[in-house]
Structure 1
Amino acid sequence: MKPSNLKPKLLLFGGTGSIGRSIQNKFIEKGWDVFIVSRSSIEDDKYIKWNPIKEDELSSDILKYFKKIGKFSAVCWSQGSNFNDSVYDYNPIAHQEMYETNVMYILNSLSILIRHNLVAKPTRFCVVSSIWQNISRQDKLSYAVTKSALKGLVLSLSNDLGRDGHLFNAVLPGVIETSMTSLNLSDEQKMQIKGATQFNRLATLEDVSNAVYSMNSFLNTGITGNFTIVDLGFSRVKNI
């Protein structure tokens, strides 16, 4: 399906993961054209191979393609990396690589999009971060540090980009009901999280994509510098 210049367009970084696919489906369902940036080649005219960490400038082919399809009304970053570590096994190289993927990737790509005038005025920007930018769990040193850095990124960008009317927010998922969660957490850990609130369940991918849509779509007319937590109250409300 070829893009329609009449449809609003979302540029989605990290659209191949479970959260990214859910966001993609939500926007398509709402009538948007969704274009996905990936570091690997995929035979689809909606996928763009681009790695903002290694490529500090767009290739002429990608720039020409972006100019052809028109400006983006929304940009979402749902890419990122995650691994377990602590101060006892800290590896500065691995830590730096995670910072590049979780933080610099966003700044590099945003800078290029703005420099080439590829986003509409105003554009709604949204970063998918994590509740672990605000609270701590064991053996998540590098992940927590890089996600915490996103708090400063969102606040600073929401301030600076206001001069052009742009809105910049973040959505912070908690533990989501996915196959990846089942691989990383034991049944006992999942039950513990479910029982922490009276919902007795985990948040879902749809809960996250609904929150992203509310920040990234035209429904958002005045929210910026905001952090929407999607965890059914887990990080703030406890059963006692």
Structure 2
Amino acid sequence: MTMANPLSKKLILITGASRGIGLSISRKFAHAGASLILVSRTRPHLDAALSALPPGGEHRCIAGDVGDPQFWEEVRGGCGKKLDVLVNSAGITHSSLLMATKPETIEDIIRTNLVGSVLGCRAVLRGMVRARSGCIINISSVLGIKAGTGSVAYAASKAGVIGLTRSLAAEVGSSGVRVNAILPGYIETDMTSGMAEGARREALEFTPMRRMGTAEEVADAAMFLVLNKFANGSQVVLDGGLSAT
């Protein structure tokens, strides 16, 4: 490992890696010398993400559903070696009042955002605990700690991710495995690009910095959590001050 390549010889798996925050984290880690396994549901999107990484790394991708236990069994069997870092970034969002939200939509949100993160952690833990080293980063949301109208199922799933992070950090910290979470606010991604103009304006009005964050700024936080060896059970809030209001 060198200062120029602090993640050299590290094997990192990133879910939701084909776009948005997951893709930015992938690029950041690839530039730092890591070998990556990119995970997303759609193969063409994964292929595009793989081609967007800097040349020279040993990267590959796996298409699948993170909410499916069998998918994680296949991932665990196909990694070939212990993962050094897992980033649970796969997630879906939805905006509607709870009484107007279909049960299947609620189930899909919880399955992807929360169950997928739990299953991902479970799949990698045995190897990390055996090696007495490893880092897990769960991408939650500021809505896990701050109310948001029209986001009940999403907020519930992301609050669950915070609970997962805190409990697992306590459970495996003595084994040398660190578990942390990032809680983004409004970030310029595909998810927020479709916001109605009124909703976007209101979001900026309630954010003290009066702007949305960037996926690259979230990637910076992920890099900090990988490199800081005392970070365990942390909740890094990146919301421009939104949760402080």
Q: Distance in 2 between matches of 1:181 and 1:38?
A: 19
Q: Give the drift of 1:147.
A: 1.1
Q: Alignment partner for residue 232 of structure 2, among 203, 208, 224?
A: 224
Unaligned runs of 5+ in 2: 1-7, 51-58
Residue 206, structure 1, aligned to residue 220, structure 2? no
| Equivalent residue, structure 2, for 1:27 | 29
CA RMSD of aligned residues (A): 2.4
Q: Distance in 2 between matches of 1:19 and 1:47?
A: 17
Kept in 1: contact 2:208–2:241 (CA 8 A) = no
Q: Distance in 2 between matches of 1:73 and 1:22?
A: 19
Number of positions where the alignment pairs a residue of Structure 1 with one of Structure 2: 225
Q: For residue 58 of structure 1, what is the amino acid of its counterpart?
A: E
Q: Distance in 1 between matches of 2:124 and 2:208?
A: 43
Task: Show the 5 A alignment for 1:31-50.
Answer: 31-41=33-43, 46-50=60-64
1:149-180 deviation per Cα after TM superposition (whole angstroms, max 9, x unaligned): 11211111111111311110100111112354
Compute the TM-score of the two structures, normalised by the length of structure 1: 0.83
Q: Distance in 1 between matches of 2:67 and 2:203?
A: 35
| Equivalent residue, structure 2, for 1:10 | 12
Q: Are the structure 2 counterparts of residues 92 and 178 from structure 1 closer, same or farther at C-alpha, using a change threshold of 3 Å?
A: closer
Q: Are the structure 2 counterparts of residues 194 and 32 from structure 1 closer, same or farther at C-alpha, using a change threshold of 3 Å?
A: same
Residue 105, structure 1, aligned to residue 116, structure 2? yes
Q: For residue 222 of structure 1, what is the amino acid of its counterpart?
A: F
Q: Give the drift of 1:87.
A: 3.1
Residue 169, structure 1, aligned to residue 169, structure 2? no
Q: Distance in 2 between matches of 1:192 and 1:142?
A: 21
1:130-159 deviation per Cα after TM superposition (whole angstroms, max 9, x unaligned): 111111121111111111111211111111
Percent of pairs identical after alignment?
25
Q: Secondary structure of the equivalent of 1:75? A: strand
Q: Distance in 1 between matches of 2:34 and 2:64?
A: 21
Q: Give the drift of 1:63.
A: 4.8
Q: Are the structure 2 counterparts of residues 123 and 185 from structure 1 closer, same or farther at C-alpha, using a change threshold of 3 Å?
A: farther
Compute the TM-score of the two structures, normalised by the length of structure 2: 0.82
Residue 66, structure 1, aligned to residue 79, structure 2? yes
1:3-59 deviation per Cα after TM superposition (whole angstroms, max 9, x unaligned): xxx621211011012111100111111111121122333566610234343343523
**Higher alpha-carbon Rg:** 1
1:96-146 deviation per Cα after TM superposition (whole angstroms, max 9, x unaligned): 22211111111222222234x267531111011111111112111111111
Q: Distance in 2 between matches of 1:71 and 1:94?
A: 34
Q: Secondary structure of the equivalent of 1:127? A: strand
Kept in 1: contact 2:109–2:153 (CA 8 A) = yes
| Equivalent residue, structure 2, for 1:127 | 138
Q: Are the structure 2 counterparts of residues 49 and 180 from structure 1 closer, same or farther at C-alpha, using a change threshold of 3 Å?
A: closer
Kept in 1: contact 2:21–2:219 (CA 8 A) = yes
Q: Alignment partner for residue 68 of structure 2, among 54, 60, 68?
A: 54
Unaligned runs of 5+ in 1: 1-5
